[in-house]
């Protein structure tokens, strides 16, 4: 398959810049697969996994939480609030974050804003854990 | 007379020395913090650039689609988000950015509302009778995404409710520890770069699920990330400016001590000569 250029960026660092065969990302409306010569496209990303296939056919999976994906003729860009490759995820930390978020959800039952934040964090933690486990 | 002068000089040397110790300590603290802040700002820069580029590109491409975020409006209300430091003693860092914001609206006289980030920014604008929408002192050293999201949400809401027709973000770009640029970056409405409008097929971008939905979700996030990055840049600039300022202060203090020591030694010699003169003339008189 024709390879195309993909860039993955977070505020902390540049995670990936190179050729890939395909990308699958979780947008707010569902999973989206991107191949070379895709039409120009912009979407918001939800919390989920991103799968890329490099030119040798090897797959890599990462955990994404919220961001933007943009496809132009020159390249595809994933700008994410956070992005971690499956093999880089600290599962212990994610488990702790999940426990804390679950605790906060029961504690902040009456405060909608705090509840939203806790739920968001819980989703992220669960996503991290399942991404990491998928790898194993 | 001479001995009184000497005491005076000695006291001044001591006071300059203690000032120098402080400036030296501040210089060291600033340079060690700077190293961390600098990597953080520099690591975020590709993201920052790419994000702003996408924002502009998207605005250019959607010219025909008429989203509220990209439509230019007649300016009746302004909102400035101004990032400055929490502490002074950083050379021109605080005053440069604050003056840039203070002087930008005088052409048409529409006084902006302010979201102030950093204690110095809060103080500056509240003293000058600006209307402060949000005050965020003590945020810069370790900005949380949640705080930035708060600011972004407030700004976006104001824009949608026509309480602000123009939103500008003021921050200081970190070029090097010696050079920092104060920058005014228009955030909303999104301004398309010149030239992007006449590209063919430019309106054929697909937005999933719809342009408005995408914009509604993306814009607050874009602004959030812009703020986080801008705060990081500004913080690195602040430390750079402080380090340079303190380095100069330390050098000046050293120079002052040198001059004062010279004056002290002169006075001491003068005193000895006088005493000798007195002894000699006393002996001669006998």
Per-domain residue ranges of chain A? 4-87, 90-135
In chain B, domain spans: 2-23+246-285, 37-242
- Return the DSSP state at B273: H
Chain A residues with CB under 8 Å of B217 CB are: 28, 44
Residue in the structure block whose two tokens are 């000699």:
B280
Bridge partners of residue A48, in order along the sequence: A64
φ/ψ region of B66 (left if φ > 0, alpha if ψ in -120 to 50, else beta) reads: left
* pLDDT (tens digit per residue) in B54-104: 777 766 665 555 567 777 777 788 888 888 888 888 878 888 888 888 888
Is A136 a residue whose pLDDT tops 70? no
- Look at residue B180 and give its three-state secondary structure: strand
Is A19 a residue whose pLDDT tops 60? yes
Residues A14, B47: C-beta atoms closer than 8 Å: yes
User: What is the rounded average pLDDT of the residues A60-83?
Assistant: 85
Check residue B67 and give its pLDDT.
66
φ/ψ region of B80 (left if φ > 0, alpha if ψ in -120 to 50, else beta) reads: beta
Which residue from A84, A66, A64, A73 is spatially nearest to A24, judged by alpha carbons?
A: A64
3-state helix vs strand vs coil in chain B, percent to 5: 60, 15, 25
Chain A residues with CB under 8 Å of B50 CB are: 7, 9, 77, 79
Chain A residues with CB under 8 Å of B208 CB are: 27, 29, 32, 41-43
Which residue from B72, B69, B73 is spatially nearest to B211, judged by alpha carbons?
A: B69
Check residue B196 and give its pLDDT.
47
CATH superfamily of B2-23+246-285: ATP synthase, gamma subunit, helix hairpin domain (1.10.287.80)
The CATH number of A4-87 is which of 2.60.15.10, 3.40.50.720, 3.40.50.10490, 3.40.50.300? 2.60.15.10
B94: CB partners within 8 A, 6+ apart = B84, B85, B88, B120, B121, B124, B238
CATH class of A90-135: mainly alpha
Residues A41, B58: C-beta atoms closer than 8 Å: no
| Ranges of residues in chain B whose predicted pLDDT is under 70 | 1-4, 58-67, 191-204
What is the C-alpha to C-alpha distance for residues A61 and A82, in angstroms, rounded to an integer?
14
Residues B221, A81: C-beta atoms closer than 8 Å: yes
Pairing of strands A30-35, A22-27: antiparallel
Residues A9, B43: C-beta atoms closer than 8 Å: no
Check residue B3 and give its pLDDT.
61
Check residue B194 and give its pLDDT.
53
CA distance A136 to chain B (A): 30
What is the C-alpha to C-alpha distance for residues B140 and A42, in angstroms, rounded to an integer?
31
Residues A44, B217: C-beta atoms closer than 8 Å: yes
Is A118 a residue whose pLDDT tops 60? yes
Count the helices and strands in chain B (H runs, E runs).
5, 6
Residues B221, A44: C-beta atoms closer than 8 Å: yes
Check residue B59 and give its pLDDT.
67
Q: Residue A10: how many CB atoms within 10 A of its CB?
A: 22
Check residue A87 and give its pLDDT.
80
Is A110 a residue whose pLDDT tops 80? no
Q: Which residue of B has its CA nearest to A27?
A: B208
- What's the order of all strands across the beta sheet hosting B113-117? B131-136, B113-117, B78-83, B166-174, B180-188
Q: Which residue of A has its CA nearest to B147?
A: A117
Residues B47, A117: C-beta atoms closer than 8 Å: no
User: What is the rounded average pLDDT of the residues A98-108?
Assistant: 81
CATH class of B37-242: alpha beta
């Amino acid at each position: 398959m024709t390879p195309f250029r993909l860039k993955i960026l977070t505020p902390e660092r540049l995670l990936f810049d190179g050729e890939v065969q395909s990308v699958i990302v979780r947008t707010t409306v569902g999973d989206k697969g991107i191949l070379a010569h895709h039409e120009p496209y912009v979407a918001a990303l939800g919390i989920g996994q991103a799968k890329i296939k490099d030119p040798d056919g090897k797959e890599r999976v990462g955990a994404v939480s919220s961001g933007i994906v943009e496809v132009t003729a020159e390249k595809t860009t994933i700008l994410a609030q956070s992005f971690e490759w499956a093999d880089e995820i600290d599962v212990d930390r994610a488990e702790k974050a999940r426990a804390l978020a679950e605790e906060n959800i029961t504690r902040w039952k009456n405060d909608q804003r705090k509840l939203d934040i806790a739920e968001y964090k819980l989703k992220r933690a669960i996503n991290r854990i399942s991404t990491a486990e998928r790898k194993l | 007379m001479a001995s009184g002068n000497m005491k005076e000089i000695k006291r001044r040397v001591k006071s300059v020395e203690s000032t120098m110790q402080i400036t030296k300590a501040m210089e060291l603290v600033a340079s060690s913090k700077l190293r961390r802040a600098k990597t953080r700002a520099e690591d975020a820069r590709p993201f920052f650039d790419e994000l702003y580029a996408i924002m502009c590109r998207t605005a250019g491409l959607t010219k025909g689609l008429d989203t509220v975020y990209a439509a230019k409006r007649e300016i009746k209300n302004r909102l400035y988000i101004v990032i400055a430091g929490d502490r002074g003693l950083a050379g021109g860092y605080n005053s440069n950015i604050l003056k840039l914001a203070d002087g930008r609206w005088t052409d048409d006289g529409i006084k902006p509302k302010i979201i102030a980030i950093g204690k110095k920014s809060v103080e500056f604008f509240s003293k000058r009778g600006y209307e402060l929408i949000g005050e965020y002192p003590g945020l810069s050293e370790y900005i949380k995404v949640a705080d930035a999201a708060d600011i972004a949400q407030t700004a976006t809401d104001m824009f949608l409710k026509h309480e602000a027709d123009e939103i500008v973000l003021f921050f200081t770009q970190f070029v090097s520890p010696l050079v920092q640029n104060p920058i005014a970056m228009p955030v909303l409405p999104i301004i398309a770069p010149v030239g992007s409008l006449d590209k063919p097929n430019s309106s054929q971008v697909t937005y999933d699920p719809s342009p408005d939905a995408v914009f509604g979700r993306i814009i607050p996030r874009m602004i959030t990330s812009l703020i986080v990055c801008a705060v990081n840049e500004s913080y690195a600039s602040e430390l750079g400016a402080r380090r340079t300022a303190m380095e100069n202060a330390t050098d000046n203090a050293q120079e002052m001590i040198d001059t004062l020591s010279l004056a002290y030694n002169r006075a001491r010699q003068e005193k000895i000569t006088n005493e000798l003169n007195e002894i000699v003339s006393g002996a001669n008189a006998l």
